[in-house]
């Protein structure tokens, strides 16, 4: 088996955790000198932003107000972490 990093995700509110084995080679290929933990955090936030963007801007039905508000909060967290909006990073603006 390939060398892996075991990353653990924990939830304070749900008191749950999950372990994910990630190939070291994948982290090194994408890493840009980031630690595996920092990269995993970036990817979690990026994945959430991508999914929320899709639900707000590309869903067949208009999103509920709660979904729009959640997206706005996520956009703020995204910009704080990455120094740009999701739309700027993706080259996809509405």
Q: What is the pLDDT of residues 20-69, one digit of tens each?
A: 999 999 888 887 788 888 888 999 999 999 999 999 999 899 999 999 99
Contacts of residue 87, defined as CB under 8 A and 6 or more positions apart, other chains included, come to 53, 93, 94
Q: Is the Cβ–Cβ distance between 84 and 92 less than 8 Å?
A: no
Q: What is the pLDDT of residues 57-88, one digit of tens each?
A: 998 999 999 999 999 999 999 999 999 999 89
pLDDT at 1: 66
**pTM strictly above 0.85:** no
Q: What residue segments make up the domains of the chain, in order of their start?
A: 4-90
Q: Tabulate helix, strand, coil % of the chain (nearest 5).
A: 55, 15, 30
Q: What angle do CA 70, 73, 74 make, to 5 degrees?
A: 85
């Amino acid at each position: 088996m390939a060398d892996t990093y075991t990353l653990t995700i924990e939830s304070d509110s749900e008191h749950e955790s999950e372990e994910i084995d990630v190939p070291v080679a994948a982290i090194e290929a994408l890493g840009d000198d980031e630690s595996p933990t920092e990269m995993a955090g970036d990817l979690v936030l990026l994945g959430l932003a991508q999914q929320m963007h899709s639900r707000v801007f590309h869903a067949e039905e208009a999103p509920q107000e709660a979904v729009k508000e959640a997206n706005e909060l996520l956009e703020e967290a995204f910009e704080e972490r990455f120094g740009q909006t999701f739309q700027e990073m993706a080259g996809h603006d509405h």
